[in-house]
Structure formats: structure tokens, C-alpha cells
Amino acid sequence: MIRQLIIEMSLSTSAKMLGAGRGLLCVSRLSKHTLPDLPYDFNALEPVISSEIMQLHHQKHHNTYVTNLNNLEEQIHNANEKKDISKLVSLQPAYKFNAGGHINHSILWQVMAKDGGEPSKELSAAIKRDFGSMEKMQEKLSAATIGVQGSGWGWLGICPVSKQLRIATCANQDPLEATTGLKPLFGIDVWEHAYYLQYKNVRPDYVKAVWKMPPRLPPLPALRDFIHLYKLRAKKILSQNFLMDMNITRKIVRAAGVRDGDWVCEVGPGPGGITRGILEAGASRVDVIEIDHRFIPALQHLSEAAEGRLHIHRADVLKTCVGEVWRENGFPSASHWLDDRAPPAHVIGNLPFNIASPLIIKYLREMSNRAGPWTCGRVPLTLTFQLEVARRLCSPIDNESRSRISIMAQMYTDPRLVFSEGISAATIIPGACFVPPPKVDVGVVRFVPRAVPAASSPFEVVEKLVRQVFHYRQKYVLKGLKTLYPEEIAEDRAHELLREVRVSPSTTSIRLGVEEYAAMAASARPLPITLDSLASLPNAVPAPYAYAHCSIMPSEGMRLRDFSV
């Protein structure tokens, strides 16, 4: 079955539509082309095609073709009146491009459907006759469409003479009928504006999604009604806030990169807002870890609707090993740590503010040791934080928001505020989107583990050093390093360490990059603490004593007169 994006036109109705399409090429000064209305809402095709893409595609791109086409026809009309043949010739490429864009997109909106379904019996029979099966037709059209060089379209068309179905591709906005003589039945737009915001430059994933829609959830009560149904209330003492806007939850899931067939662990699902978005995105297995028993019935309701894809674990996320959960259930495709492509797995969470920092430290420790979910490869991690903490995690060098957690996060991952490329312009989630609304806004950070961490030293050594340096963030870095050593040798050892890594003693913590901290951790060798080493220090107490006759304690013991001071 083709869900959502379907061949909705039968062989007979397609001819009528293209007859109307040919009318677009009539140059008239009296009639203007207009942007056709979408027969559904912008978000009707989610999660396959996002509301943002649909709005830009229809309101911006298609509208531009219509505007340009009207302007060109005005120019053509004037050139005809003046019999300016050179002008007419010069306008033809632009006219072909914009008229083709208007024709192609007018067809596209009609062959996309929000409810899914099967093609008509007549069209199904023709597909089976000419391709053998629906699946073979999909494979051939997908391969041809993916292979389009640059921008263009993949089409399923019908020859008006032989009545046979054929697959064709057209470059740019060349219309199918004018280019090949085929009448279009179904088209796939592979201009990047049709998919880049959601699928980046991975065209095969987009084309695959057109045909193989992920399983959708059956109709469920609205999230707000869901909360009232189960009488759920956020507990202030647990820093709980429910994210109610499903558009935002879906946006978080898209930013996390969840795709059809992926495995996802969601920490702190609450009433299941983000959980719904994950299931809608087509995840084949979703494990949710929730400690609050009040949310379990609501999550069980979702689990029943998800037909076995949602698994509930009532547990403390700080004490739960996600990797064990996945391994026990047969995680399908762990990848090598150095593979460029991440494994088909994700950890996602809208966390209570009071556990966000301890949890990210736990996960960073597991990343450094390749433990927990990171036994499966470089699994990306997407978490919500107070906006101040989110910006701190991604803070650059010499920024006042830079802190211990900035260094630790950037030492082992590449943290990015999602929805935007830069920190200052980052899209935030307003506190008003939550119930109850917190007094702060929220940011979403996606962590991609580094293939090679910046630090080779044990995580505990790095964390200890960074913590001590940032404990005196307003002081010189020397001040924090001295606290790592006994007072008697602190000055010498701290200066020695800074000389080795070529860092000025008078710099401050926020002016150092992760490379400098990694180098300091590597040079901060543990002290060989022994009784002899302590006894050799100035003013050692007790003073060093030597046994007068032998260096080994005799089994029968010793007398005081045998010692020499």
C-alpha cells in the first residue's frame, strides 16, 4: 500500500487534468495565473514531509513560478504587439522554466494525499500489466528519480497512443507532456527545496519515504485531553513540565534524525508527547524509561496503539543501562565506532531540569568508555535543557557562559543547538509551550559522539581537572591547578604542568580550548605517594628514622636503642 503520497489519479481523470494543464501555456493579457490552494493542511503529510517544507514549497517556490509566469506573459504580449522577435526568443527559456514549474507543481499537489490508499482498479491493472507489480514499478521509478542529475522530476506517465505506462525523468522544470509526449500520472519532485530541510542531501531516503510510509498511530485523544483523561499533574518538586505542542515535539524528533526502522530510547517521556512523534516517525522499537508511576497507564495506552513497538521501563534513568536493554532485545546493527554513518539508534529526552546535568555527565562518561548505548556505536543523543544550560553546553572559547560542562561535552561530542546554525540565532522553545510554564525558556541540544575524543586520559582525571580549574573561573588557571596537589609541592607541580602544555599561568579557564584541557589532563601524572616520598618532604612529621643495623624489620621485633635519629 502507498500511504499518504499515492497515485490518486486514474487513467481517465489524468487526461482531463492535463488538458487543463495545457491551458497554462496560453499567453493572455486578460487572465492571470493564480496559486492553486492545497487540498489539505500544510502538516497533513507529516512525518514524511514536514509542515515547514510544505509551506515553503507551496507558498514560496510555487508562488514564485506563478508570479514570474504572469510577468513573462505580460512581456511576451508586449513583444508580440511590437513584433520584437529577438525579445520573444530571449524570453522562451524563462517562460519554459516558470510555466513548467507551475504545471508540475499544480499536478504534484493533486497526486499527494493525506489519508493514503490504493490506486484505482484501472490503474492497478495497468501497473501490473506493464511492470509486473506495484513494487517493481516503485523500484524502477525510484531508481530513475534518484539518478536525476542536479534538479528535476521522476514521472510515471501514460502514452496517449499505446496506452502503456512508462517511467521518465525531466530536468529542471521541463513539463513531462511537452518534453516526452507522456501524460503524467504521478511525479516525485527532486529539487532540493522539496526535501532538504528534512532529509538534507540524502535523496534516496526521501524517495524511499514517498513510497514506504512508516506505520502511523491510530486516532488518539489530543495530548491535552490525554492528560485530563489520566488526571496527570506535573510535580514542581520533580521539576516536571509537559510539552504540549505536537508541532514542536515532531520538530525535536526530526532534529534528532529519527528515521523509519530506527531504535529509540526516550528518557523521561512523561505523558508521551515526544513519544508520539517518535512513533509517527516510524521507529521500529521505542524504549521509554519513566520513574513516575502516574504516567505508566497513559504510556500503556500509547503502547497498545503502537502495536508492540513501544516498551515501557519503570526505572530511574540514572541507574538504567540503555545498552543492556538494547542488547537483551537483539539490537540489529551495531556499527564500528569509526564508521561515518551512525547506527540506526537514538537517545532522546525532555528532562526535568533537576537531573539534566547529572544525566549528561553520566552519558559523557559512558561515551568515553564506549559503554551503555554507545556499545552499539556513535549513537546520537538529543536532550532538552534550560536555555541557559543549552547555550553553556555549546559555548565557544572566551565566552562568559563557558563552564565545566562546556568542556566535558565538547571533549567527547560535537554538541549543537538544534533548529539553527548559530547560538545567538537559535530557535528556542518558549516556556509558554509547557504545562505548567516554567520561568525559563528551553533549548534542545543534539550531541554526536566524536570519532576520536579530544582527551585520551581517563574520564575521571579529565573531569577532576576541569572541575578544579572552573572552581576558580574568575582566577588565573594556575589557582585551580594548584588544588590538585599537596600544598608543599602545588606551586612547582602546577607551573611544571603549564610549561609542558605551553599554557600561560595568567590565562583564565574560559580562554582555553578542549585541546589545552586534554593536554593538561595527559600531563597531570598521579603522584607516587609513598611513606618515603612523604618523609623526604621538608618539615615532614614524623622526621625520618633509620634502623641502625638492617633495612628489614626482624621477626622478633626491635628495641628503641637500635634506632638512630
pLDDT digits (tens, 9 = 90+) for 422-476: 333 445 788 878 877 888 888 999 999 999 999 999 999 999 999 999 999 889 9
**Domain total of the chain:** 2
Residues in the chain: 565
pLDDT digits over 289-347, tens only?
999 899 999 899 899 888 889 999 999 999 999 999 999 998 877 788 988 888 999 99
307 Ramachandran zone, left/alpha/beta (phi>0; psi -120 to 50): left
Residue 299 near residue 268 (C-beta atoms within 8 A) = no
156 in a known ligand binding site: no
Rounded to an integer, the average pLDDT of 552-559 is 66
Of residues 141 and 526, more confidently modeled:
141
241 in a known ligand binding site: yes
Rounded to an integer, the average pLDDT of 164-189 is 94
512 in a known ligand binding site: no
**What pLDDT score was predicted for residue 526?**
61
Domain end, chosen from 188, 211, 234, is at: 211
**What pLDDT score was predicted for residue 400?**
92
pLDDT digits over 498-521, tens only?
999 999 999 999 999 999 999 999
pLDDT digits over 223-244, tens only?
777 677 777 777 766 667 788 7
350 in a known ligand binding site: yes
Rounded to an integer, the average pLDDT of 391-419 is 93
Mean pLDDT of the chain: 83
**What pLDDT score was predicted for residue 422?**
38
290 in a known ligand binding site: yes
Q: Give a yes or no: residue 262 inside a domain.
A: yes
**In a shared domain, residues 257 and 400:** yes
Domain end, chosen from 211, 246, 261, is at: 211
- Using pLDDT thresholds of 50, 70 and 90, give the confidence band for residue 354: confident
**In a shared domain, residues 288 and 171:** no
**In a shared domain, residues 71 and 146:** yes
Euclidean distance between CA atoms 199 and 205, whole angstroms:
7
The 8 Å CB, 24+ separation contacts for 57-63 are 57/105, 57/189, 57/193, 57/194, 58/105, 58/109, 59/35, 61/101, 61/105, 61/191, 61/193, 62/35, 62/101, 62/102, 62/105, 63/35
Q: What is the dihedral of CA 294, 299, 301, 305, to 10 degrees?
A: 180
Q: Give a yes or no: residue 515 inside a domain.
A: no
**What pLDDT score was predicted for residue 214?**
46
pLDDT digits over 121-156, tens only?
788 899 999 999 988 999 999 999 999 999 999 999
**In a shared domain, residues 127 and 269:** no
**In a shared domain, residues 161 and 227:** no
**What is the residue whose three cell numbers read 594556575?**
478
Euclidean distance between CA atoms 394 and 62, whole angstroms:
37
Domain of residue 169, residue span: 11-211
**What pLDDT score was predicted for residue 48?**
84
Closest to 178 measured CA to CA, from 97, 262, 87: 97
**In a shared domain, residues 184 and 235:** no
Q: Give a yes or no: residue 327 inside a domain.
A: yes
414 in a known ligand binding site: no
Domain end, chosen from 434, 449, 464, is at: 449
Tell me the range of 374-378, 435-439, 552-556 where mean pLDDT is highest: 374-378
Rounded to an integer, the average pLDDT of 20-36 is 57
* CATH code of the domain covering residue 236: 3.40.50.150
Euclidean distance between CA atoms 331 and 344, whole angstroms:
10
Q: In what order do the strands lie in the sheet with 263-267?
A: 310-313, 285-289, 263-267, 345-349, 381-386, 442-449, 413-417
**What is the residue whose three cell numbers read 525559563?**
440
**What pLDDT score was predicted for residue 25?**
40
Residue 167 near residue 141 (C-beta atoms within 8 A) = yes
